[in-house]
Amino acid sequence: MNNRTSLEGCVSIVTGARGGIGRGISRELAAAGSDVVLQIERDQRDSVEVNDAARARPLVEEIEALGRKALPINCDVSNPAHVEAMVDRTIEAFGRLDVLVNNAGIVNTFRLEDMPEDEWDRVIDVNLKGMFLCCRAAIPHLKASAGAIINNGSIASFGGASGLTHYCASKHAVIGLTKALALELAQYDVTVNAVCPGIVDTPMWSEVLTPDPEQYKAVISRVIPLGRDQTPEDMGRAAVFLATNANITGQSITVDGGITSRAT
């Protein structure tokens, strides 16, 4: 992807593509000209070959309506064999890979003293180990295309939140991974950056963190200086910006309506 002013003719992988932010990123990449491989979450017990296209059909149709191709692949990002198979299928189907968006992530709430070990492991495995595995599998192909890696951080990458020690730990680590990997890949003209969402109207916020609609509205009015939540499309436009700019690497772009601008 030597011509970073456009995604025409490019191929992108978006993990966690069925979620709110993943859908927004996938649509914006397609609108910018990229074909998109859609990673759909699945259980580790499934075989590597499973491709659950039915669950992704609405998003596939949206991308095809934009004139681009979409390939859904059922994959557990915390499983090395699944991730390697996903990247192999991408190359078989399209012959190249230009952009990797590590968006897959999960969250739940536990005070640390009450947290089961398997809940800690599950969040770290998806949010951090999955990012490592996807980067490792994609890097040889991104070197060939002088491509881009975009990692999904969070405003939790810069602070703490009660009940979210495992989530905050994983998102802090994303920033360290992004900076270090940007240095490793700079000689190959591969950029590595992070998009850090604020409060986005997705199931993660509405179902897990603030399920009461009135509470959600109160949080927005209280903590966001711009007075409005962010959208999945906001994250998608940030991803396109980073994917098409060859001179930005190792950076964390916060899209949060001004939340992290407040003095602490």
Measured distance CA(34)–CA(19) in Å, rounded: 19
Tokens 């997705």 correspond to what residue? 202
- Measured in degrees and rounded to the nearest 5, phi and psi for residue 33 equal 115, 0
Active site members: 167
Q: In one letter, which amino acid is 42?
A: R
Closest-CA residue to 26 (of 259, 242, 262, 235): 235
Measured distance CA(184)–CA(260) in Å, rounded: 28
Measured distance CA(60)–CA(199) in Å, rounded: 26
Closest-CA residue to 196 (of 21, 14, 18): 21
Is-contact 58 65, C-beta < 8 A? no
Measured distance CA(195)–CA(60) in Å, rounded: 24
